Amino acid sequence: MMKLENEKLEVKGKVCPMPILLIKRKLESVQSGQVLEVIGDCGPAFDNVQRWAKNAGHEVVEASKSGDEFNIKIRKQ
Amino acid sequence: MLAGPWENASVVKVNEDVAVLNTLDFFTPIVDEPEIQGRIAASNVTSDIYAMAVPKIVTVLSIMAFPENMPNELAVGMLKGFADFCREMDAPLLGGHTIRNPWPIIGGAATGAGHPKKIMYTRGSKPGDKLVLTKPLGVQPAMAAYRMRKEEDGLEFLQDIPEDLVEAAVSGAIELMTTSNKPVAEVMQQIPVHAATDITGFGLKGHAENMAKLSDVDIIFDCLPVLRGTPALTDLFGYPLMEGEAAETAGGMLIAVAEKDLNDLLDALEKRKVRHFEVGYVKEGSGNVKVAEKVKVIEV
């Protein structure tokens, strides 16, 4: 099976709840099984995005922080 | 010392008749209207004393920071709202400190005084107790909507939710945050209750976990009263309101009371026009908190 390339979404400068809203919109154009990589810098969004993604049935493949910036990889269900 | 950092306020026994309570609380503004912001901050600061069933606040000191480019009238407005609220609560605002800072801050420190044996703690809830909450939940999604409807890209996302629901959530949250918990403290001086805490940043579940752990019991919530409009906003934003985990600001009091005293408590709250909701119960356990699978959600 062909491996799908990761999609990227930058939400730097966006504060809660905008990151989740932008992710939801972006996921509409992402294929099932494809990974969306989200880069942002809103502190509370790091936890909120992961919790929302799991509750929505998606898989959080990886979540990391470096300084103020976070990177979360979400595999669409 | 009768209570430390694990409680809403520190409590020190001065003598057999007097205990002194101290608390400190500040945050960055959450509304643009300065006087309302000042009132919310004062409500939040004083609530930590009222949460311990002490209605007498003997001193409040304000803490404020504002950036160089912030108009002076905003700072003056925040202080006015803060001072007005304290005056209405008969809580003397006797001083404070203001500095310049890259971002604004408003809050303060409050000192309360009460009889050492009439102070209510977060610990002390017992199996069989009923749980009463004195304000609905939902400040986090409501205030997110408040911010979003002021921004163009935010407004676009709010389009699917009827405007009257958004307005109900926002105005309900502002009214809730500027409503004092002082009458609840006065009621807890009259009615024997077992434990109490106010509900703020850690959300209903987080504060209940503190109560459950300190009391060595389990807590079950079978009803969640939420501000009208907040379930729709929560669905949109992905906040954990229905799990009892959404952050609150200047929220209500969670009170554990023996079943035999429940009606007296509800009657006393009713007489003082304090909203009240039976939200759950306490059972034997070891510090766990659960929101029931078939939890009843009521929009108020």
Q: Where do the domains of chain A lie, and which CATH numbers do they carry?
A: 7-75 (3.30.110.40)
Q: Say yes or no for a CB contact (<8 Å) between A48 and B157.
A: no
Taking the CA atoms of B275, B47, B281 and B11 in sequence, report the sign of the dihedral they define: negative
Query: How is domain B10-118 classified at the CATH fold level?
Result: 60s Ribosomal Protein L30; Chain: A; (3.30.1330)
Query: Is the Cβ of B40 closer than 8 Å to some Cβ of chain A?
Result: no
Residue A3: pLDDT over 80:
no
Report ipTM for this prediction. Answer: 0.80
Task: For residue A27, give Cα distances in angstroms to A20, A42, B32, B232.
Answer: 10, 20, 33, 20
- What contacts B171, CB < 8 A, 6 or more positions away? none
Q: Where in chain B is the domain with CATH 3.30.1330.10?
A: 10-118
Q: What is the pLDDT of residue B154?
A: 84
Averaged pLDDT for residues A57-66: 94
Give the residue ranges of chain B where pLDDT is below 50: none
Query: Is the Cβ of B102 closer than 8 Å to some Cβ of chain A?
Result: no
Q: What is the pLDDT of residue B292?
A: 96
Task: For residue B248, give Cα distances in angstroms to A2, A49, B224, B255, B290.
Answer: 46, 19, 14, 16, 18
Residues of A in contact with B147 (CB under 8 A): 15
Q: What is the pLDDT of residue B3?
A: 82
- State the alpha helices, DSSP H only, in chain B: 34-50, 72-88, 139-148, 152-158, 163-177, 182-190, 203-215, 230-237, 259-271
Instruction: Read off the DSSP letter of residue B3.
Output: B
Q: What is the pLDDT of residue B153?
A: 81
Q: Say yes or no for a CB contact (<8 Å) between A17 and B144.
A: yes
What is the residue whose two structure tokens read 């119960």?
B281
Residue A7: pLDDT over 80:
yes
Q: B146: nearest CA in chain A?
A: A17
Radius of gyration of chain B from Cα atoms?
19
d(Cα B197, Cα B151) in Å, to the nearest integer? 35
Q: Say yes or no for a CB contact (<8 Å) between B157 and A56.
A: no
- Note if A16 is an active site residue: yes
Give B170's strand partners: none
Q: What is the pLDDT of residue A2?
A: 66
Q: Say yes or no for a CB contact (<8 Å) between A20 and B238.
A: yes
Residues of B in contact with A20 (CB under 8 A): 237-238
Residue A1: pLDDT over 70:
no
Query: Which pair of structure tokens corresponds to residue B23?
Result: 């608390």
CATH 3.90.650.10 fits B130-299, yes or no: yes
